[in-house]
A and B are shown apart, each in its own frame.
Chain A
Amino acid sequence: MNNNAGPAGTPLLHVDRVTVRFGGLVAVSELDLDVPEGSIVSLIGPNGAGKTTAFNCVSGIYAPSSGSVRFRGKRLERSFTPGTILRALAVGLLTGLLFAAAAVDVDRLWMAVVKRGMITGEPFTMSGAMERLRGYFRSELAIDQMAGKWRVVSADGSDVLAIKRDLGEARLVRDALQAKVTARRTGPGTVPDATDLNQREAAAAPLVALPVVKEEVLDRLAAGKSRIRWRGWLGLIAGLLLGSAGTLAVWQRGRRSPHVVARAGISRTFQNIRLFSSMSALENVLVGLDRTIPGGVFSMLLRTPANRRAEAEARQKAIAALDFVGLSGDANRIAGQLPYGDQRRLEIARALATGAKLILLDEPAAGMNPNEAADLAGLVERIRDRGVTVLLIEHHMNVVMRISDRIAVLDHGTKIAEGTPAEVRRDEKVIEAYLGGEG
């Protein structure tokens, strides 16, 4: 019965020279392991041999320090797609806008764009708002109102240059002063601005007395334009870089997350049972089925017929899975209250429900008596007969020898033997590892 594995070619799981180090401690060293499709492969060895570490490595909980794990010839990690970059850029843009908003003082921007539009009494229009927005970034002088009087103010409202009773007068003053500021901004030698300035001043002079504005205030106003733009761009770019780089870094670190591995088709149970202990047995299996249930949040909230059907189908499937492991009578019992052996079987049902092609069982028969262990061995064989490949860690030698197609033996993190049960049983090194060498 040995090696009744699936088709030749790439094995389902290919572990290639995997080493896992925790600081200076080597838990698994240069492990090679092939699991052919449709087989039962066991990993055995004394306690602390690194079996569970190897499992954690395959299921994506640890990343190998070196070497690679391939499933159906592919590395199990999220692939780098254009979507990844787009998402990173989107997050970056959002961060950038946030930074820019802080840098240009969003509070004053709001005042300039929204509130000033309301003050003059004209109806609020989008084009007017855009005009004021541009004005804010160009640091153009603006008009606002306080206590019934019109004021000519700097774009951010921090400098008040003139106060007038009449809106028309205020406008004239604003234009004249703006021309002055613009002239200063473009430099003293520029002729067109100078004439423009003179003309405007001449036009305004008979109507209103231009206020005297200090030189340093004019300088500040002239410099304001470049300053606020510069701050805005700096914030935007800094945020964009920081946000995108951060998103990419996080993406990189989450690349080999266990759920990616699980979705690729590897599922597992845990040595120390990790059920969702306050949920019912049925719900546990339904969590395993999660990926196979269609429908999003809105169909759930509206409880559409499609959603009801999907839930009902999932429930049927979950019942079938419980039936398969022999727990059909316990569907509504709380998982944490099931007997120990049943909890192990429930964990297997949950893992199978994910639709995995490879299932990793970490000591499924631990703590069972010989009868229960024999039942379990039967269950593992039935799993294999369903077309699910099994990789097993087990200490019950009866179980291992009876059902395994191949056995790999680990000791102190290194593989010391591999072969059929009969071969492994005879291996000198294996006997030595289990019984202890001489001297």
Chain B
Amino acid sequence: MSTNRASRTSVPPDPSTGPWAFLAQRWELATLAVLAIAPLVIPALGGALGGQVTNLFIYCILALALNVMVGYTGLVHLGIASFFGIGAYVLAILTVPMYPFQIGFLAAAVIAVLVTAGTGLALGAPTLRLRGDYLAIVTLGFGEVVKVTLRNLEQITGGMKGLNPVPPPGAGVTVAGIDLGKEFAIDPRWFYYLALLSLAGVVLAMRRLENSRLGRALVAVREDELAAQAMGISATKVKLAAFAMSSAVAGLAGCLYAASLSTTADPNAYDFNRSIMVLCAVILGGLGSIPGTLLGVAILVGFDTVLAPWADSWIQQMNVNPKGLSYLSFSGWRLAIFGVALVLVMRYRPEGLIPSRRLASELRDGGAGS
């Protein structure tokens, strides 16, 4: 798993495998190990908390998908939630008992990922020549179009009711006397592990992407599109690849989301808010940085879906707020805290909490130069 390409020859050490990078990688492995053991030690993860953390992992996958576009390639994408939604709905259509397909989770997930990648290509192909803000507006519009389409194709998507029940992964599959479908339905830890495994796979893929030919081309196009073209790189193809990869990974996150909720929820679950939330997480953590993105999600989404409800219930338990006044509940302040935190981070650490090596140097350099 480790990408330890030791310098065998006279080649100076590759920066991606230098001591710092190695530490970073071990840090990732250590986190993975802790997260893998956690459910065995903390019983709470077998309950509602397990579901919340699973949700967090899914958000992490979605944020890494967005990072390919915004972080590596520098294309502002405001509609990532639509690909998340397409993934969820395709999986649901292929598995719900209401429709005749009812194929297994794995096959359905593969098809869903391919469909989202294809949709990404279809959106990207005509719009790639747009730059900066214009592309942002197109993706924003696409997000809304998808949401409204999902709502209006009532016969296919179930309209505001969504599609349900999405059977759990492994429904009907029995391995060594264990009915996987049942296990998934009963114990949230199964989903926890499935999401963790997927997240680890995506992180590994992103690591490899970063140090590959395509990854360099993505960054080159972000840095200077014309110069990249003058090096023989087809900016169009590179951006299309970014679109496809980003959409595919977002689709994977959507599959996990629908399966873990056992419903697609209503189309509003895939609206602009979710796109922006994920974008904020990526920017907060550090554009183009894998650990940064993960941390950004952990902070923003963790705050929103784990900490805020917990704080609310604590306040209620303490009986501080018997009248239910909104300014005495934590949720009432949730968005304010959120906004202030974002402002502070952008003021004091514009490159993000864990900046990518590349972008950090750029921003500090720019700051020193001006």
Q: Which of B56-64, B220-228, B309-317, B338-346 contacts A (4 or more CB under 8 A)?
A: B220-228
Whether A259 and B234, one on each chain, are in contact in the complex, defined by CB atoms closer than 8 angstroms, is: yes
Taking CB atoms, residues of chain A closer than 8 Å to B208 are: 300-301, 303
> By the criterion CB–CB under 8 Å, are B230 and A268 in contact?
yes
- Known A280-B15, A300-B212, A303-B208; contact A267-B231, beta-carbon cutoff 8 A: yes
The reply to whether the CB of B66 lies closer than 8 angstroms to some CB of chain A is no
Question: Please, which residues of chain A bring their CB within 8 A of the CB of B220?
Answer: 276, 279, 287
The interface-forming segment of B27-35, B40-48, B150-158, B297-305 is B150-158
Segment with Cβ contacts to A, from B4-12, B257-265, B270-278: B4-12
Q: When the two chains form their complex, are residues A286 and B98 in contact, meaning their CB atoms are under 8 A apart?
A: no
Q: Is the CB of A257 within 8 A of B229?
A: yes
With the chains together, A78 CA to B144 CA distance in Å? 37
Interface residue A434 (Cβ < 8 Å from any Cβ of B): no
Any B CB within 8 A of the CB of A331 = yes
Partner of A316, one of B9, B219, B226, B229: B9
Q: Which residue of B lies closest to A262 (CB)?
A: B232
- Please determine whether A300 and B233 come into contact, CB atoms closer than 8 angstroms: no
When chains A and B are docked, how far (Å) is the Cα of A106 from the Cα of B234? 36
Which single member of B152, B153, B217 contacts A287 (CB below 8 Å)?
Answer: B217
> Which residues of chain B are within 8 angstroms of A61 by Cβ–Cβ distance?
226, 230
Which of A293, A300, A312, A354 is B231 in contact with, Cβ under 8 Å?
Answer: A354
- Residues 313 to 361 of chain A near chain B (Cβ within 8 Å): 314-316, 319, 331-332, 334, 336-337, 350-351, 354
Binds B, one of A112-120, A221-229, A423-431: A112-120
Which of B103-111, B168-176, B359-367 forms part of the interface with chain A? B359-367
Note all chain A residues with C-beta closer than 8 A to B232.
Answer: 259, 262-263, 267, 290-291, 354
Count of residues in A whose CB is under 8 Å from the partner chain: 61
Residue of A nearest to B152 (CB): A107
Q: A300-B209, A301-B205 are in contact. Are A107 and B362 (CB under 8 A)?
A: no
User: Is B122 among interface residues, defined by CB-CB distance under 8 A?
Assistant: yes
Is A275's CB within 8 Å of the partner chain B? yes
- SS of A interface (majority): helix
- Closest-CB distance, A121 to chain B (whole angstroms): 12
A215 to chain B, nearest CB (A): 29
> Which residue in A246, A268, A283, A319 is a CB contact (below 8 Å) of B216?
A283
Question: Of residues 223 to 241 in A, which have CB atoms within 8 Å of B's CB atoms?
Answer: none
* Cβ-closest chain B residue relative to A315: B11
A274 touching B214, Cβ below 8 Å:
no
Nearest Cβ in chain A — how far from B148, in angstroms? 13
Say yes or no: is A311 at the interface (Cβ < 8 Å to chain B): yes
State whether A279 touches B233 (Cβ < 8 A).
Answer: no
Contact across chains for A114 and B227 when beta carbons are under 8 A apart: no
A65 interfacial contact with B, CB 8 Å: no
Which of the residues B154, B230, B361 comes within 8 Å of A336, measured between beta carbons?
Answer: B361
* Pair A312/B5 contact, Cβ less than 8 Å: yes
| Contact status B212-A258, CB under 8 Å | no
Q: Is A91 an interface residue (CB 8 A)?
A: yes
| With contact pairs A106-B153, A301-B205 given, residues A277 and B227 touching in the complex (Cβ less than 8 Å) | no
Closest beta carbon of chain B to A172's beta carbon, Å: 26
In the bound complex, residues from chain B placing their C-beta under 8 Å from that of A106 are 153, 156
Chain B residues with CB under 8 Å of A290's CB are 213, 216-217, 231-233
By size class, the interface of chain B is 35 or more
Give the contacting residue for B233; candidates A59, A259, A336, A351; CB below 8 A: A259
A11 within 8 A of B: no
Q: Is A94's CB within 8 Å of the partner chain B?
A: yes
**Residue B235 interfacial (CB < 8 Å):** yes
B236 an interface residue at 8 Å Cβ cutoff? yes
Determine if B3 is an interface residue (Cβ-Cβ < 8 Å).
yes
Contact call A254/B236, Cβ cutoff below 8 A: yes
Which residues of chain A (258-274) have a CB below 8 Å from chain B? 258-259, 262-263, 267-268, 270, 274
A246 to B, closest residue via Cβ:
B126
Instruction: Decide if A295 is an interface residue (CB 8 Å cutoff).
Output: yes
How far, in angstroms, from A114 to B230 measured CA to CA in the complex? 51
Q: Is there contact, CB below 8 Å, between B235 and A259?
A: yes
Bitwise interface map of B from 329 to 370 toward A, beta carbon under 8 Å scored 1, else 0: 000000000000000000000000000001101100100000
CB-CB nearest in chain A for B201: A301
A379 within 8 A of B: no
Closest to B13 in A: A332
How far is B11's CA from A267's CA once the two chains are assembled, in angstroms? 26
B230 touches A262 (CB 8 A): yes
Q: With A and B bound together, what is the CA distance between A262 and B226 in angstroms?
A: 11
Chain A nearest CB: distance from B138 CB in Å? 15
B122 pairs with A270, CB closer than 8 A: no
B14 x A315 contact (CB < 8 A) = yes
A303 in contact with B359 (CB, 8 Å): no
Is the CB of A278 closer than 8 A to any CB of chain B?
yes
Nearest B-chain residue to A297, judged by Cβ = B214
Docked complex Cα distance between A282 and B18 (Å): 14
Q: How far is the CB of B26 from chain A (nearest CB, A)?
A: 18
Q: Bound complex: CA of A312 vs CA of B212, how far in Å?
A: 11
16 pairs of residues in contact across A and B, judged by CB atoms under 8 Å: A106-B156, A115-B98, A250-B129, A257-B234, A262-B229, A274-B224, A274-B226, A291-B232, A297-B241, A300-B213, A301-B208, A303-B3, A311-B211, A315-B14, A319-B11, A334-B365
Interface of B with A (CB < 8 Å)?
3, 5, 9-15, 18, 98-100, 122, 125-126, 129, 152-156, 205, 208-209, 211-214, 216-217, 219-220, 223-224, 226-236, 241, 245, 358-359, 361-362, 365
9 new A-B pairs (CB below 8 Å) besides A258-B229, A259-B231?
A59-B230, A276-B219, A278-B361, A279-B219, A279-B223, A280-B15, A287-B220, A287-B233, A334-B361
**CB-CB nearest 6 A-B residue pairs:** A124-B100, A262-B232, A278-B362, A276-B223, A274-B227, A111-B155
